[in-house]
Structure 1
Amino acid sequence: MAGALCLTDRGNAANEDFVRVTESYGIVVDGASGLAGEPLFAPRFATNAQWLSHVVGERACAELEGGASVDDALERAVGAARAELETAAGVALERMDPLAVPSATLALAAVKGDVVELRGLGDSPLAVLMRDGSLVVVTDEALEALDARAVSLMALRDPGCALSGPERRRLVDDVVRANRLLRNVDGGYWSLDSSGDGLAHARRASLPREEVLAVAGMSDGMWRAFSEFGVAEAARELVGLTPGRAHEIVRRLRELEASDPDLARFPRLKRSDDASLFWIGL
């Protein structure tokens, strides 16, 4: 078995994910909109998060294809994003409102000779199916815990689920804002943004290629199909994923999201989210 595929499906007003795959690397960058400020790159990009994911993603791919190491590719991509952001904002990054600075999660796998290198930031999981049948899932437990707490508080503040989904989500705006201020600080969580501060804290692994059957990276909006929504079992699907099957998983996910507009059956912060995935079969 060998091959590669990727997909992305918009779940919000603008798709803020970037995804690309070749037989030697795959990358997902899932942008998180700032909670303040206006879009700086319209009409080129609908949101600053969309800009960040695409600028970092495109530059990282170009660097990898030019022979750069994984870490050098990411550092150069983030450096380019910082320069563009500061030019557009007309102010140094350190002086910007932290709630206005876009950030992103990252899932990257690169096949380098006899090794599969993994890098991850935030809650975009990397799922690795080993030849012995085991599945290794690498994600950010700290960020997932923060989101889980916000979801729990949403239920406590509307125990009877009397409100609509958007109304319930607004009940925890204060929690979401407080969580965002924990980005890239000790005791908080590490993510990809234009400062580059999170890169040194990225999850890292180097696996022998001969032991890996397949590897996939996903945005959290895609991973929910394999986790809380229970659409599919990751270990079974990653054996030989096809484009048709991947799109079927997303189609079923969207059906379940639409069936629960009040966020009650499947507690979550967003009714729907951008769903992106890359898969490399080795």
Structure 2
Amino acid sequence: MEVTYTCQAAPGGRPNDDFVIATERYIVVLDGATAPAGVDSGCIHDVPWLVAQLGTHLARTLSTEQAAPLVEVLRSGIEATMASHADTCDLTNRDSPSTTVAILRRGAEDVEYAVLGDSAVIVEQRDGELVVGHDDRTSYLPAYGVEAVSQARNTEWGFWIASNRPDAADYAVTGLVPVSAAYRAAVVTDGITRLVERYGRSWADLLKRLDSHGPNQLVKDVRAEERATPAGQYRGKVHDDATAALCRF
């Protein structure tokens, strides 16, 4: 598997809360949730620390336990990350730092994926059919204020994300495509999926553009759309960190 990617912070000088680790067998992409101003997370660490810890733990398991199911890889990564700051932080706090996770792994027989939170994996098969792993549960929340999102995090009626609940792994969106059928794939954070969700492009268009012009151009496409959009038209940030990875099989 050949992997090409970019991982870029949003304009404005804030730290990048996205994180990527890639090898010839797997890619792990994380998108840390920006901490709301004034909210006590119970944690002494910032979001980049969390995504680096979790990403490293996931990569270690993917490298050493190659047959482990991705849901179990995700569960053990969350458990290991929690253990790394259990002595210093309040891991019962519902606003503990959190992150989305998207994993794509090429095995001997299958290309597998697991997505937790609002990132996405798009796999194109050799016959042109797309398989999309996209967790869109945050699109259906009854409200989007800080308190409402906090209440919905890691609940049956809300959405699931990697934080202080190892069982969140059970709610990941998962799937597989036979290696013989897989042609190319994209692994992207919601800083890129907004091309589809906000700006009207299709998953097929996104993947084709990524392959034809590269990850950096895809981020430029996002920034151009963001600058051209009237202020306040969409919920959430005007700009977001953006990670786009292209995998060729």
> Offset at 1:112?
1.1
Q: Residues 115 and 206 of structure 1 are in contact (CA less than 8 Å); yes or no, is this contact kept in structure 2? A: yes
Q: More relative contact order in 1 or in 2 (CA 8 Å, sep 6+)?
A: 1
1:112 paired with 2:107, answer yes
4-13 or 31-40: bigger deviation: 31-40
1:62 maps to 60
CA deviation profile, 1:74-96 (whole Å, cap 9, x unmatched): 2332122111232222x4x22x3
Give the letter for the 2:118 counterpart. Answer: D
CA deviation profile, 1:124-179 (whole Å, cap 9, x unmatched): 11111121112222222321222xx65xxxxxxxxxxxxxxxxxxxxx6xx23212
Q: Residues 5 and 243 of structure 1 are in contact (CA less than 8 Å); yes or no, is this contact kept in structure 2? A: no
Match of 2:204 among 235, 251, 256: 235
> Aligned partners of 1:81, 1:142: CA distance in 2, in Å?
24
Give the letter for the 1:178 counterpart. Answer: A
Give the letter for the 1:58 counterpart. Answer: T
Match of 1:37 among 25, 30, 40: 40
Match of 2:172 among 202, 207, 214: 202
Give the letter for the 2:240 counterpart. Answer: D
1:88 paired with 2:93, answer no
Give the letter for the 1:6 counterpart. Answer: Y
CA deviation profile, 1:201-254 (whole Å, cap 9, x unmatched): 111212211112112211111111244224x65424535845953211211321
2:248 maps to 281
Q: Residues 29 and 219 of structure 1 are in contact (CA less than 8 Å); yes or no, is this contact kept in structure 2? A: yes
**CA 50–134 in structure 1, closer or farther in 2 if over 3 Å, else same:** same
Match of 2:192 among 222, 227, 231: 222
2:220 maps to 251
The alignment partner of 1:197 has SS state of helix
> Aligned partners of 1:234, 1:139: CA distance in 2, in Å?
11
The alignment partner of 1:276 has SS state of strand
Q: Larger Cα Rg: Structure 1 or Structure 2? A: 1
The alignment partner of 1:278 has SS state of strand
Q: Structure 2: give runs of 5+ residues left out of the alignment.
A: none
Match of 2:127 among 103, 116, 132: 132
> Aligned partners of 1:225, 1:185: CA distance in 2, in Å?
28
Identity over aligned pairs, percent? 27
- Using structure 1 for the length normalisation, give the TM-score: 0.77
- Structure 1 segments of 4 or more deviating over 6 A? none
**CA 78–144 in structure 1, closer or farther in 2 if over 3 Å, else same:** same
Give the letter for the 2:139 counterpart. Answer: E
- Using structure 2 for the length normalisation, give the TM-score: 0.86
**CA 237–143 in structure 1, closer or farther in 2 if over 3 Å, else same:** closer
> Offset at 1:278?
2.0
> Aligned partners of 2:23, 2:98: CA distance in 1, in Å?
25
1:263 paired with 2:232, answer yes
> Offset at 1:191?
1.4
CA deviation profile, 1:17-56 (whole Å, cap 9, x unmatched): 1112222111111111344127623xxxxx2x22221111
Q: Residues 153 and 161 of structure 2 are in contact (CA less than 8 Å); yes or no, is this contact kept in structure 1? A: yes
Q: Structure 1: give runs of 5+ residues left out of the alignment.
A: 42-46, 151-171
**CA 250–129 in structure 1, closer or farther in 2 if over 3 Å, else same:** same
User: Mapping of 1:69-218 within 5 angstroms?
Assistant: 69=68, 70-89=70-89, 91=90, 93-94=91-92, 96=93, 98-99=94-95, 101-146=96-141, 175-218=145-188
> Aligned partners of 1:9, 1:72: CA distance in 2, in Å?
29
1:20 maps to 21
> Aligned partners of 1:197, 1:261: CA distance in 2, in Å?
40
CA deviation profile, 1:52-107 (whole Å, cap 9, x unmatched): 21111111112212234234432332122111232222x4x22x3x12x1111111
> Offset at 1:10?
0.4
CA RMSD of aligned residues (A): 2.4
